[in-house]
Amino acid sequence: MQRRSFLKHGTLAAGAATVAAPVLAQGGPAISWRLASSFPKTLDTIYGSAERFTRRVAELTGGKFVIRQFAAGEIVPGLQVMDAVQAGTVEIGHTASYYYFGKDPTFAFDCAVPFGLTSRQQTAWVDQGGGRELLRDFFKGHGLINLMAGNTGTQMGGWFRKEIKTVADLKGLKFRIAGFAGRTMERMGVVPQQIPGGDVYAALEKGTIDAAEWVGPYDDEKLGLVKVAPHYYAPGWWEAGPQLSLYVNIKEWEKLPKEYKAAIEAASFECHVAMQAEYDARNPAALARLIKNGAKLHTFSKEIMDASFKHATDIMEEEAGRNAAFRKIYEPWKRFRNDQNQWASVAEAPMQNFLISAGRK
């Protein structure tokens, strides 16, 4: 690891409690910000990550830099958080960049694209692989500073009312899915639907939709979808490692003392790592409970995975051909992904596959 990066994120290595909060705050001004979240409080792991962030910023600045957090809808709707930060309605927001796919598909690289990077790979790309520089340049053009602020790990492929075995089974399927994934699914005959999370259960129960994707076992369990769509599929190939991010209004960022900027960077990296750890700890037990309550676990067939990969690749290549901003990130990102997957096949994948096999005996 580079020395500068180590120093920046040193709170992780030493433990959060070892950072003496008053040191950063000596002589610092009192500042109050508002943070708009795209997420409801019921998503306690994702929403809670930003709570951790605001708490740590206050601790690192001796209570002089206070950031108040607001759930989706309290200041602006969840899908308008980035717009609110750009407009200066709030100074900072916690959201997922692929929500803004419709503005420019390039935004998705700061979160997830189909058959993209895993959680660890995404962190490696942003922190050590040139991703931060590419993304900062892109977001600067939109008046924003971007910071990593969480990852769920590879998500599930969704809840289906019936089994899906072949590409033909996808034809006419009304599936709650959007963005790059929705565009990919559309090429296989799926009819993408955009429905708020709180309405998904009723839509499945009434047959308004045939399937819905959410997050993973821990969060999915809360929606009770197993009762109305028992077929639970994996993997969510459109979200191999979806990153949540903090976006700061660039004008507000430039006003901050350097010590406060350092506090934001350190606190955001802490909450980034902690979110993944929380999901890894909570998902296994949640999945076991779902299966006990009737979930039928499936993996997408090779036919479906192959077709999805082909269409997703075609769509990204087409976008790169017409969108210079997308192409500028996509080409080095693609090389990084391919190198990472080759390396993973050498040691980590064989080790993981052996342990999975051994655990079934």
Is 337 annotated to bind a ligand? Reply is no
Task: Give residue 27's pLDDT.
Answer: 72
More confident residue, 17 or 205: 205
Would you place residue 198 in the very low, low, confident or very high pLDDT band (cuts 50, 70, 90)?
confident
User: What token pair was written down for 307?
Assistant: 């077709």
Which CATH number does the domain 31-152+241-281 belong to among 3.30.420.40, 3.40.190.170, 3.40.710.10, 2.40.30.110? Answer: 3.40.190.170
Is 214 annotated to bind a ligand? Reply is yes
Is 74 annotated to bind a ligand? Reply is no
Count of residues in the chain: 361
Percent of the chain scoring above 90 in pLDDT: 89
Of 154, 147, 76, 141, which is closest to residue 106 (Cα–Cα)?
141
Is 155 annotated to bind a ligand? Reply is yes
23 has a pLDDT exceeding 60: no
Task: Give residue 96's pLDDT.
Answer: 96
Domain boundaries along the sequence of the chain: 31-152+241-281
Is 176 annotated to bind a ligand? Reply is yes
20 has a pLDDT exceeding 50: no
Instruction: List the strands of the sheet with 231-234, edge to edge.
Output: 191-193, 174-176, 211-212, 158-160, 231-234, 296-299
Average pLDDT over residues 262-285: 98
288-332 pLDDT, tens digit per residue, is: 999 999 999 999 999 999 999 999 999 999 999 999 999 999 999
